Amino acid sequence: MTIQPQASKYHPESKILALGENIGDPVEAADFPKTVLRFRNDRWAEAVGLGHLTDEQWITHFGRFQPLEETLQQPLALRYHGHQFRVYNPDIGDGRGFLFAQLRDSGGRLLDLGTKGSGQTPYSRFGDGRLTLKGGVREILATEMLEALGVNTSKTFSLIETGEDLVRGDEPSPTRSSVLVRLNHSHIRIGTFQRIALEQNKELMVRLIDYCLENLLQPAPEGLPPPIALMRQAVNNTADLAASYMVAGFVHGVLNSDNINITGESFDYGPWRFTPLWESGFTAAYFDQTGLYAFGRQAEAIHWDVAQLAVSLRLLCDSQPLIAELERFPDLYQNALIAHFFRRLGLAPGERDSSLQFIETSVQAMAASKTQIDRFFFDWRHGKPQRADSYAGDTWDKLRAEINAFAPTGTRDHAYWTDEAPCSMHIEEVEAIWSAIAERDDWAPLRHKVAAIRRMGAAHKS
């Protein structure tokens, strides 16, 4: 479920400190040669009581990292391990970011402000701790698009250009630098539990589970051991995330266990892509040679990651109840796929079997006809296809017969639904937006795209 931003008073917190010094390391932000504000997310700034900040104050806090009032007074580089392409790595942690602040939104959720590109930490290894400006722009585009499509995602809160020349193997270099601040519903990852389990730190594991249940999830029902309660909610949350990726046509690219948040919120966008077509083998990362994190394998990948959470929680309890919770994932994924697929179509789902059959028919029709995902959901909104002449033949006749069984929800009154084409986020569009910035320092295409995405998001809610 995506949360809509609503204006709120500033409500600072520092709950993470209850976990003690073993959860992270105090660090200092880099001293950048310049700070030029390129993006501020005023919608979400209002939702956490920071909308009143002037641009100068904004840069002071999110470019120079002067602490906000009554929250963390020193940033923390969080400690975690993780499986990276299914190889365990104990040498990772926050290598170019830190937890900067905690605060609550209008609904009382505990949120984190975390960074990317803010300088070196004890976990930087051989990295420079920096983020390219292109990487920051790409993260804006990913989070805005996913939020508009109903995916539970972190929000790009701020992007500031920092005036350094960086050398990267996957970008023409030297390339421009930036520091990004994201608003997250927690930075507690599966990898956080993996590190604690490897260290056999039972006391910290108990405190971490309590922290999650008290601040991020729902309290454990009476009689249910806290590790099982946490596992149950993690399975629920991540199954929903996997389904939402598919309906959005999104490929995260790096679904390592250190990139899976216990709340099920998607975050940390590197080589992401939106696949134009429903192609199960489509990959986002050039280094994903085996297709481990391909579009059609994302549910499998996330399920595997959550299994590593179960392995970690064995530090405190028996395996069998953890396995029982893990085995719920496939059914939960299918239920979530129904919910997200029908929501994007503006239809009310029917019985489970008929709804799943309709999804299969839709996927087969998209694949056989090479109809783009965004175009399909745009044209078939509410079950009555626009451009009907484009959907002729037996494949589409079968879909037509099935779709009539589902009632429309909402309206098509928003002007977006009369556009010639849907809003999309294909790699060519991303590169064109970046080229305007790189070649002419022209930020207008980015601003226009963000506005178009938010307009689409409003239409989906109508």
Annotated active-site positions, please? Answer: 258
Asked whether 211 and 19 are in contact (CB, 8 A), the reply is: yes
Asked whether 34 and 162 are in contact (CB, 8 A), the reply is: yes
C-alpha dist (Å) from residue 387 to 166, 261, 423: 47, 40, 17
Distance of CA 48 to the CA centre of its chain: 19
Asked whether 310 and 329 are in contact (CB, 8 A), the reply is: no
Neighbour-count burial of 48, counting CB atoms closer than 10 A to its CB (0-12 exposed, 13-18 middle, 19+ buried): buried
Alpha helical stretches, state H, 249-318:
298-313
CA angle 185, 188, 192 (to 5 degrees): 170
Is residue 218 classed as helix, strand or coil in its secondary structure? coil
d(CA 451, CA 144): 10
Asked whether 145 and 16 are in contact (CB, 8 A), the reply is: no
Find the helix packing angle between 226-248 and 329-345, rounded to 10°.
40
Closest CA to 140 of 186, 77, 183, 93: 183
> Own/partner pairs for 21-25, CB < 8 Å, 24+ apart?
22/79, 22/201, 22/204, 23/76, 23/78, 23/79, 23/192, 23/204, 23/208, 24/76, 24/77, 24/78, 24/79, 24/94, 24/98, 24/99, 25/76, 25/77, 25/79, 25/121, 25/122
Is residue 131 classed as helix, strand or coil in its secondary structure? strand
Asked whether 236 and 332 are in contact (CB, 8 A), the reply is: yes
d(CA 385, CA 378): 9
The encoded tokens of residue 340 equal 């997200």
The residue assigned the tokens 């505990």 is 110
Bridge partners of 93? Answer: 79
